[in-house]
């Protein structure tokens, strides 16, 4: 499956608090590319949206994305509270 990063995703990714957070996001993205249903990602639809999903990179890091048949479109990443700002 193809993973496509939005400009906003790249901008937010670069501003993450530490290299460790970036590393966790990268590991989660690699796993999403292989198997987005992997249990450690805890993928679920974001309540109140039609097309947006969230995946966990760690206990407090989230990735917001949209899925199509052939691609995953990345929109945001960051602390769990990014879900409150969608």
Quote the CA–CA distance of 6 and 67 in Å, as a whole number.
13
- List, in sequence order, every residue forming a beta bridge with 5; answer none if it has no partner: 74
- List, in sequence order, every residue forming a beta bridge with 62; answer none if it has no partner: 56, 78
Say whether 29 sits in a helix, a strand or coil.
helix
Q: What is the pLDDT of residues 33-66, one digit of tens each?
A: 888 889 999 999 999 898 999 999 999 999 999 9
pTM, 2 dp: 0.89
The ranges assigned to domains in the chain are 2-85
Q: What is the pLDDT of residues 10-40, one digit of tens each?
A: 999 999 989 999 999 999 999 988 888 899 9
Q: Which CATH superfamily groups domain 2-85?
A: RelE-like (3.30.2310.20)
Task: Name 1's Cβ contacts closer than 8 Å, sequence gap at least 6.
Answer: 32, 33, 36, 70, 71, 72
CA-based torsion, 77, 79, 81, 85: positive or negative? negative
């Amino acid at each position: 499956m193809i993973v496509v990063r939005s400009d906003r995703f790249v901008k937010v990714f670069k501003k993450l608090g530490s290299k460790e957070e970036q590393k966790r996001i990268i590991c989660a993205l690699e796993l999403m590319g292989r198997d987005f249903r992997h249990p450690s990602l805890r993928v679920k639809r974001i309540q109140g949206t039609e097309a947006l999903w969230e995946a966990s990179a760690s206990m407090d890091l989230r990735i917001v994305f949209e899925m199509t048949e052939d691609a995953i479109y990345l929109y945001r990443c960051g602390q769990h509270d990014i879900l409150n700002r969608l």
